[in-house]
A and B are shown apart, each in its own frame.
Chain A
Amino acid sequence: MSLEKFMNEAISPWMKEEGPDSDIVMSSRIRLARNFEDIPFPIIANKDELEEILAMMKNNFQQKSFKNYHDLEFVKMIDLKTIEKRVLVEKHLISPHLAEKSDLGAVLISENEQVSIMVNEEDHLRVQLYFPGFQLEQALEHAFEMDDWLEEKIDFAFDENRGYLTSCPTNVGTGLRASVMMHLPALAITQKINRMIPAINQLGLVVRGIYGEGSEALGNIFQISNQVTLGRSENDIINDLKSVVQKLIEQERKARQMLGDQRAVQLEDRIFRSYGVLEHSRIIESKETAKCLSDVRLGIDMGYITNVSRTILNELMILTQPGFLQQYAKESLSPQDRDVLRASLIRERLNLENSY
């Protein structure tokens, strides 16, 4: 398969669109946790009960369309190869938990891959909706409509006092996890982000790197999301998150301008060194890839690099992960072989760019 075709299939259609503030906000996500009223949660349910949920979701929603989310495809985890599951995880369409722990799990995915409904994960249902750029309100609006649409067929576990009942006490109430994925290279270079994170945590929001382990944020990509789900309305939760994200956007833009004004040569050097590494290396590991991609993307956003499209960071962050590399190679690869393939895939991708 050609790289171009592989990429077209690998990158979710919605990711190719540019949303508001997409120079900094890569995507907005809404996740709702929902459970069936009369069936124990997956942690304790027996096989028959989980099968009942699978059958119910398949019979009622397979190949159904809602708004512009067409032809929901129903896929059972048990029918997927390990690599295929890994690819879905790397595309953020399913969680690692569903891929690894839920034998009787499944997922419904819309054709444009903007909607995915995980079945029999920690909760019976986890409805996820992605929007490009900074569009939390639109995402919530659609998620609500989706929720109502599902409720036409399902009796959700709901209590007047506690709200939507979930397996974990950290999700009860709204069952809402709203998150925004942000590229914050200038705040990272100037080390401002480290000072901002504790303040953001104080507001009941969580900041974490989306790639990489622990507190490390590979590619300077951060995910900001709400912690509290009980006692606040969905709109209040979204508004809190929105105002913090707006502040971060402001600060990131200021830091970029400051870098451009005061350390222009150093910044330009850093950006073009990274560009050079991506263009010429023959062996590259994921950590260095992430750093270089972040620099190049910053270079594009600040006008230093003009012949490369902005979506390259989003695309290559996903494509250069182990699952995708092995799917591209159609075989399992050792870490060393992956580093070689990763370098060649990046070179090819940049060549593709220059040929347009």
Chain B
Amino acid sequence: MSTLTRTDGSAQHTVAQSLVLDRLHKTYTSRGKTSFEAVKGIELSIEPGEMVALLGPSGCGKTTTLRLVAGLETVTDGDIRIGATSVADLPPAKRNVGVGFESYALYPPLSVRQNLRYGLRARKVRDADQRVDTLAARLEMTELLDHRPADLSSGQKQRVALARALIRNPPVLLLDEPLSHLDAAQRQRVRRELKVLQREFGYTTIVVTHDQLEALSLADRIAVMDGGVIQQFGTPDEIFDDPANRFVADFVGEPNINLVDGVVQRSGGKTFVRVGDAGMLPVTATGVADGRAVTVGLRPQDCHTGVGAEQPALEGEVRVYENLLEFGQATVDVPGVDEPVVVQTPADERLAGGDVLRFAADAGQVYLFDDDSGERLR
């Protein structure tokens, strides 16, 4: 397989660069209306060649953050550094970042090939045609090169938009929902190829997504964002197994985490949390006062069944059982708990509605959150 050459006419490609967002603020002000703070002091330190996923619900400021880094919005406060250089006051052209736009931003009168070349023309790259061909082959879009954007499906446009971002080999790559319109099979393939290209060329990358599977598969680290604030920044394992707060625990994980009321109870030097009328789960948190009311987070995947009667556990009647082939999923009514608790069960353990299920989780996987602030209690 041929590779994309890194030597281009402008020769401005260097080794991978770090990207630092330093207490970044963005306030949108439109005259006559109240101003809106879309980004509230984001701190992110991204290693050279690292791929970070920005994961969060709609309207949390993901696109705004990308546009700040690209230079398409003015920074209200804070700094952005690529390598050792502060770029917060540089125009977009001088930042040398590649952006894959959510709206594709393809130029209608030009063919796909011309669109891709267009990005190279301003910088007078010499082997433009060869680069276009090579990249098109790797992104499975050679047959699209002679079409106009108007002739393409949204998934095809998205691949072209991705190619347009990659074609210049920018040291910093910003992708806004790059795969959202691809079908499932394409998405997996393009995702893999994107990952390979990113590794190969060492693009320092931020990819915006609200698909957590995409975040998990692509990213070295994930930044979970909500309300213009980074809620947690860490590896997928850290995000999943050690959530910083209730929002992160709730937002990440499929199926959703169970969040139920509980009361902390200490006995015999150990800490437990009482859930419902008679349920009891072990916890590792040591800094929580005896008798404090908390929110308990318990992932369906972390539950295990077959717990002895003498051990702390939850027990309840199965309301619904779903056989999902690789595993089962039981929805259990635990006495004294408002919401039914979802439990993932081993595939060979078939249940039916009305069965009584006793289940528990390891102490390290039972998370306690403050009732009001949602902060993790440890």
Whether chains A and B associate is no
